[in-house]
Amino acid sequence: MERTFLAIKPDGVQRALIGEIISRLESKGFTLVGLKLVKVSRELAEKHYDVHKERPFFPGLVDFITSGPVVAMVWEGDGVIASARKIIGATNPLNAEPGTIRGDFGVSVGRNLIHGSDAPETATREISLWFKDEELVNWQPTITPWLYE
Ligand code: ABT
Ligand code: MG
């Protein structure tokens, strides 16, 4: 089954939205297979946002993501990569639809609460960047037959 990397950013943690955010993904029917609270190093932040390293907002982005604890997660389910991006909403929370995480809780692109992998290749890269194999749990909830035909 497909897996994606999601991370509740320092603003989401500081605003006490960890439970709310996890709850939305859980009730949708996705399965949590990896979870940890991380104080992100500059090295990890720079690797994670490597694609943006030439952008003007890169230094501020690295400062922000290393500014406080982050909740790093791996979620599993059919189509979870694209679906989690929909649940998260548009990059700029002001453009994100109500009902999405960013649409409901955010007001600024540089404080958009949660990260989600944007494609299968980035999901694979980000999962191995943030998690060791033995930190991931291979399991299936017993309700699986009630989620998938
Ligand atoms: P991430 O899930 O954090 O990768 O966001 P998303 O994929 O929706 O959007 P991208 B384009 O990857 O943004 C990465 C981070 O950079 C911030 N950003 C982006 C700015 O601050 N200014 C900008 O003009 C753009 C395009 C938003 C994202 N993170 N934060 N915080
Ligand atoms: Mg991105």
Reported ipTM: the value is 0.91
How high is the pLDDT of residue 26? 98
Q: Which atom of ligand 1 is nearest to the CA of 90?
A: 8
- Give me ligand 1 centre to Cα 44, in Å: 16
Rounded mean pLDDT of 39-59? Answer: 97
Residue 142 exposure: Cα atoms within 13 Å on the Cβ side? 0
Contact between 66 and 112 (Cβ < 8 Å): no
Residue at token pair 């999601």: 6
Please state the separation of Cα 6 from the chain's center in Å: 2
Q: Is 48 a residue of the active site?
A: no
Pocket of ligand 1 (CB under 6 A): 9, 52, 57, 61, 64, 91, 109-110, 112, 115-116, 118
pLDDT tens digits, residue range 59-98?
999 999 999 999 999 999 999 999 999 999 999 999 999 9
Nearest to 102 by CA among 110, 111, 93: 93
Q: Name the pTM for this structure.
A: 0.96
Nearest to 6 by CA among 58, 53, 86, 75: 75
